[in-house]
Amino acid sequence: MTSVWETLSHIDVNQHTEKKGNLTYLSWAWAWGKVKETYPQATYEKKIWSTELPYTQDDQGFAYVQVSVEIEEQSLSEVMPVLDNRNQPVKNPTSFQVNTSLQRCLAKCCAMHGLGHYIYAGEDLPPDEDGLPQKQPVPQKEPVVVHEHILSLLDVARNSLDQYDLKALDHWMEAEFTQRWMDVAKRNHPEIHQEVRAACVARKKKLEKEEKEKNG
């Protein structure tokens, strides 16, 4: 009997992705529709936290959502930070931001079961029957899909670090979100990891030099 993973991971989702800025998303509506078409008994649940809200906040105030998808008695959950329109983690999110994150989280849960998983792994096509990624039938290189959270780190490094003082810079660099996704970037996108790290080091050196000169 074919497993859920084997069934869903071999479905080509390339025609059902949406391009928004530099990010590529799998349509949550299509993804869930495909899951239900394949497994009619599948269910999903948006976690309601002890605050009676569909999101929670960490000790720094950043918001997160959680969604679970159950297929064939196997339940998988995914947690995602609530992001603004610049893909930056937010505090005190709006209902629209929460709803958008819940939808994206649902699509990722479907990917955890196999549907469109290769998108998050940076592959262009689903695996073949031997479990290996297929090659493009034409010699045309597809753009590598980079996870939205890694792109958010790159955006901060390129556009926001100049606004950070030393305290804010240290806070951002030591945040759990930053460290987690820097580790992922180091493994999967070393060039991005190097650029973000170099920008942080350069900014910190500049701030420390300015502070030293100020204190004489």
Give yes or no for a contact between 39 and 69, defined as CB atoms under 8 angstroms apart: no
Coil, strand or helix: which one is 150?
Answer: helix
Strand partners, 65: 80
Can you give the pLDDT at residue 126?
58
- Give dist(CA 82, CA 50) in Å, integer: 18
CB-CB neighbours of 93 under 10 Å: 23
Please report the sign of the dihedral spanned by the C-alpha atoms of residue 85, residue 91, residue 78, residue 28.
Answer: negative
Q: What is the DSSP letter of 142?
A: P
Which fold is adopted by the domain 4-120? Enolase-like; domain 1 (3.30.390)
User: What pLDDT does residue 67 have?
Assistant: 95
Q: Among candidates 37, 114, 46, 32, which has minimal Cα distance to 77?
A: 46
Give the pLDDT confidence score for residue 139 in this predicted structure: 43
CA distances from 194 to 131, 154, 164, 185 (A): 31, 10, 19, 9
The per-residue pLDDT for 215 is 79
Question: Domains of the chain: which residue ranges?
Answer: 4-120, 148-215
pLDDT of residue 123: 45
In three-state secondary structure terms, 68 is strand
pLDDT string in tens for the chain (216-residue length): 679 999 998 999 988 887 766 667 788 999 999 999 999 999 999 999 998 999 999 888 999 999 999 999 999 999 999 988 877 899 999 999 999 999 999 998 999 999 988 877 654 455 555 555 555 444 444 445 678 888 888 888 888 888 888 888 888 888 888 888 899 888 888 888 999 999 999 999 998 888 888 876
